[in-house]
Structure 1
Amino acid sequence: MSSGKLNPRGAFAERTNLQIPEPLNASSSIKSWLTTGPKRAQCKRPSNESRGGDRKRVKISSDDQEVTISSDEYESDNEAEMQHADPQYRARTAPWKLYTRGQSTSTSRRPFVSTQPILQSFVSSNKSDIFRCHSILDGSFLTPPYACSYSHSARSGGPPLLAVATEQGTVYVVNTSKRKDWDPEPVHTLLQPHDNGIFDVKWNDSDTLLATVSGDRLGRISDFETRYTVGTLRGHQGTVKCISWDPAHRSLLSTGARDGQVCIWDLRVAENRAAEGPSGLSPVLTISAAHEDVGLNGRRKPPKGKHTSVPKSVTGLIYSDANPHQLMSSGSSDGILRCWDLRLAKSRSTKVKEPSYLFSSPLDPTVGHTSGRPRGIISVVDGTGPTASLIFALGADSRIHTYTRDSLTAFGTSYTHENMQTNFYIKLAASPCGRWLATGGSGISGSSFMFDVSNATRASACSAETGVELKGHTGDAGGVDWAHDMLSTCWDDGMVRVWRPDTETHKKCVDRHEEQQWDWCWAGM
């Protein structure tokens, strides 16, 4: 980076359903695990009149679903009895229950099926799975990538377009389709929305716009086809860390920053355009001191005195699928997630109030794994498919914590690896199928890690699983993201590496590792 420009890393130096397939075997299709599962069908409960007599409602699954049994039958938590009492029970709970033909279903919980053998088969070619982030400045060849994001089409099986954001404010869009070893590296589409490091990049739902946030305290909206900036988001007083598009309203998005604020933006509102130019936008809503302490009156207390200059950063944002008016956020000071109601409310003076603070996590899961003090959250993602009711958060304690989406309650289990280290720049990503997580890692020989989370609600299953380590380069592995059948990881040496499941190649690498290490990297190498 040229002299005179702020090093974005220095800005943070002080802060730190679906049906279960058969277990994996030689004849299994790996791609059957990679596809996104169908949404769970909504089954209508038969009325009392159609079933006859009075009914009692009994909760029998983790989905909080209820079935009814006649008053002359006793209430029971036994799955076999529930299935006998209600023939539709099996259909309603199919996404969460695994049934084996010819075997009894007396247990109230399905058997644990691990997909870790698939994760252990991921490999990456040293010739055809490498992409370079070229520097735009004289005197340097490559620039470190900070974040990456696959398009929505790539996550559903379309062309795997990957947007890679760099330290120099550049965004490269590259097609990561599998190519031959002798094929040249594909041409990158280049965008230059910022002059400082970009910490997050996200596609809109139609894959036509790219939203970026940077150390220059701005957000930018770029048109992918024309490569022009069509919107500048001005309103934060610190480095902007995260951005999230509203899935229910295409023109709305939110940003969180080091200044402790959450800003809500509407690309349609012309009267909120800033004076700096036609592309300038001001936030339509602002949540200040989003993760500061809450007083006895229930209001957040902004930092005062010597702590005024160090607000608690907002590190992650997720919109609620169940309620289009709710936004969940994470902070850099602890493992507490908060939920906000974004509906506007006006006082008698017609002044717009800040969104209401609805609820937060009852307990901080980061305290139990440290020396008694809370640790912040670095990145958050929401689950899909079998994990659709969950939120996963990567903590500064080098663990991935699991929360329920409805109440933000943390489970007692977490995911980690003995070699896993984190810092403020590491990202967390969830696979389209909802079964796997991937995260980067810090350190001189930084690694990326993958975890099987398809059984995240089962404490005994989670504790028995360990992560799969991916080694490929040197330095921090920051940005990670999944496409339909591949995973991309970003490394501080200016490289982006793509990983794909391939059992035959992985077996060959393990059997002849000294020979194959010149051509391949593989899981657990």
Structure 2
Amino acid sequence: LEIRTGFEITGANQVGGEYTECQGSMGIRCMYWGQRVSRVVPDSYFLNYSSTKCFVSSNAWVVCQFAKDPCAEHLLAVGDENGFIHFLDAREDVITNSISADRSCVIDVSFVANRPNNLISISGHAKVTSWDIERQLALQQFLGHEGSVRALSVSDDNPDLFATGARDGTICIWDQREPQAAVVRPFNLLKNTHPLLAPERQSIGTKRRSRMSVSMSSKGITSLVHYGGNTLISASSSFKTGIRFWDLRYRGKNSPFRILEDPNSSSTRDFGIASICLDRFSSSLFVASTDSKIYQYSIQGLNNTPVGILQGVKRTSFNTYDFRIAASSTSDHVMFGGGDCFAVIWDLQEKYSNSNKGKLKHLPYPKYTLGGHRYE
């Protein structure tokens, strides 16, 4: 699941701390203030858009991602449930080549920044592989997980580093800078990353007392994202374990330096987290919870509770942890792909441009619905 608004800015002028305006290639007005660029994307961009062609496969698609390099952003990698990765040229609507990655389902893929020919994939058999796309060749295998690998994040600030998370709660940090090594071991291993506080009863005389103890088993990792060059953010199948921040500069340290709180902490029911993503400025973290809400956290401040909530996703859309949330890299839009054959998009532009929250027209509900799919 990816969201892109392909608007090019033809020019900009900035004088001191004041803003100036410029005209984009599609007539979009852009306001510049300091280093924060606000691209106003009109409704017509979404309302006039339609997919010209549909790729149909007998195997169910599981994950997709566009290449990160600007010179190859037309390239789309799609993984299916039978272990194949297909590469599509969006300009010509053709599949350029395919790779047999595993005998099991491809869980996630990620292009490597500044290396348009390099792709990382994870699959259900604890298999983590680095691929040469052009030669359709496996460059390296990364061994270290014992359970099913469920999450992947490649650092854009340091393309040699990436992280994977497994169902047993283990996070492996990998380094690709061993070109001669066909098999690579993790250089940093985080275990029991999301333990859950559970009540433990003890008998004292004739009375029974309850206290909270830390469960020895961790909840499974469901989503990872790099924040800057040295921080990794992790989420799990238990929201009560929080969203955890890890400093990757300290090897062997198994304690997060920050934990974002569960907004439903007073509830006896423990919801999970399906997916997390950062906005284009890396100032907000969006969290897709299985309670059918999207929570927004301001991670540049000290507040560990949500600052906003997006709604409008049906509860049936969260019947598994396979659904993804994505934020546009060029505008203030958030997309979620659910289980009811639709993808929905929230337009946060009205929130950021309207000081009177009582006049919001669509938020906290999605503004656009993208149809065309027959299945989840």
Query: TM range, normalised to the smaller chain?
Result: 0.7 to 0.9
Instruction: Indicate the residue corresponding to 1:239 in structure 2.
Output: 148
Q: Determine whether 1:164 maps to 2:137.
A: no
Gaps (5+ residues) in structure 2? 21-28, 32-37, 199-212
Q: How does 1:354-393 map to 2 (within 5 A)?
A: 354-361=253-260, 363-366=261-264, 373-384=269-280, 387-393=281-287
1:405 is aligned, of 284, 299, 312, to 299
Q: 1:36 to 1:405 in 2, by over 3 A?
A: farther
SS where residue 344 of structure 1 aligns?
A: coil
SS where residue 102 of structure 2 aligns?
A: coil
Structure 2: distance between partners of 1:454 and 1:393: 19
Structure 2: distance between partners of 1:283 and 1:329: 17
Amino acid at match of 2:263: P
SS where residue 63 of structure 2 aligns?
A: strand
What is the deviation of 1:287? Answer: 0.8
What is the deviation of 1:230? Answer: 0.8
Q: 1:293 to 1:122 in 2, by over 3 A?
A: farther
Structure 1: distance between partners of 2:296 and 2:160: 30
SS where residue 132 of structure 1 aligns?
A: coil
Normalising by structure 1, report the TM-score: 0.57
Instruction: Indicate the residue corresponding to 2:289 in structure 1.
Output: 395
Q: Determine whether 1:283 maps to 2:186.
A: yes
Bigger Rg, structure 1 or 2: 1
What is the deviation of 1:231? Answer: 1.1
Task: Report Cα offsets for 1:367-398 as digits up to 9, x if no partner.
Answer: 58xx66342111111111xx541111211122
Structure 1: distance between partners of 2:259 and 2:160: 27
What is the deviation of 1:124? Answer: 2.5
Instruction: Indicate the residue corresponding to 2:34 in structure 1.
Output: none
Q: 1:451 to 1:119 in 2, by over 3 A?
A: farther
What is the deviation of 1:217? Answer: 1.0
What is the deviation of 1:158? Answer: 5.0
- Contact 1:333 1:377 (8 Å CA) reproduced: yes
Structure 2: distance between partners of 1:193 and 1:163: 12
Instruction: Indicate the residue corresponding to 1:470 in structure 2.
Output: 370
Q: Determine whether 1:228 maps to 2:137.
A: yes
Instruction: Indicate the residue corresponding to 1:175 in structure 2.
Output: 89
Instruction: Indicate the residue corresponding to 2:94 in structure 1.
Output: 186
Q: 1:267 to 1:249 in 2, by over 3 A?
A: same
Amino acid at match of 2:259: S
- Contact 1:415 1:462 (8 Å CA) reproduced: no
Instruction: Indicate the residue corresponding to 1:337 in structure 2.
Output: 243
Task: Report Cα offsets for 1:74-128 as digits up to 9, x if no partner.
Answer: xxxxxxxxxxxxxx55459xxxxx999xxxxxxxxxxx99857246505434xx3
- Contact 1:159 1:175 (8 Å CA) reproduced: no
Structure 1: distance between partners of 2:239 and 2:188: 24
SS where residue 186 of structure 2 aligns?
A: coil
Structure 2: distance between partners of 1:192 and 1:151: 19
Instruction: Indicate the residue corresponding to 1:519 in structure 2.
Output: none
Instruction: Indicate the residue corresponding to 1:216 in structure 2.
Output: 125
Normalising by structure 2, report the TM-score: 0.78
Q: How does 1:194-205 map to 2 (within 5 A)?
A: 194-205=102-113
Amino acid at match of 2:308: T
The alignment's C-alpha RMSD in Å is 3.6
Task: Report Cα offsets for 1:10-45 as digits up to 9, x if no partner.
Answer: xxxxxxxxxxxxxxxxxxxxx99734899998x9xx
Instruction: Indicate the residue corresponding to 1:448 in structure 2.
Output: 343
What is the deviation of 1:410? Answer: 3.7
Q: How does 1:46-65 map to 2 (within 5 A)?
A: none
Amino acid at match of 1:377: I
1:207 is aligned, of 98, 116, 124, to 116
Q: 1:113 to 1:202 in 2, by over 3 A?
A: closer
What is the deviation of 1:257? Answer: 1.3
Instruction: Indicate the residue corresponding to 2:331 in structure 1.
Output: 434
- Contact 2:128 2:143 (8 Å CA) reproduced: yes
Gaps (5+ residues) in structure 1? 1-30, 44-87, 93-97, 101-111, 134-141, 180-184, 296-300, 346-352, 477-525
Instruction: Indicate the residue corresponding to 1:9 in structure 2.
Output: none
Structure 2: distance between partners of 1:40 and 1:214: 47
Q: Determine whether 1:121 maps to 2:47.
A: yes
What is the deviation of 1:440? Answer: 0.8
1:149 is aligned, of 44, 62, 65, to 65
Q: Work out which structure has the larger RCO, using CA pairs closer than 8 Å and 6 or more positions apart in sequence.
A: 1
Instruction: Indicate the residue corresponding to 1:16 in structure 2.
Output: none
- Contact 2:297 2:308 (8 Å CA) reproduced: no
- The alignment-based identity, stated in percent, is 21
Structure 2: distance between partners of 1:279 and 1:416: 46
What is the deviation of 1:441? Answer: 1.0
What is the deviation of 1:294? Answer: 6.9
Greater helix percent: which structure? 1
Task: Report Cα offsets for 1:146-204 as digits up to 9, x if no partner.
Answer: 10000013xx4755110001101110000112x6xxxxx52331011211101110000
Instruction: Indicate the residue corresponding to 1:507 in structure 2.
Output: none
Instruction: Indicate the residue corresponding to 1:256 in structure 2.
Output: 165
Equivalences, count = 336
Q: 1:364 to 1:165 in 2, by over 3 A?
A: same
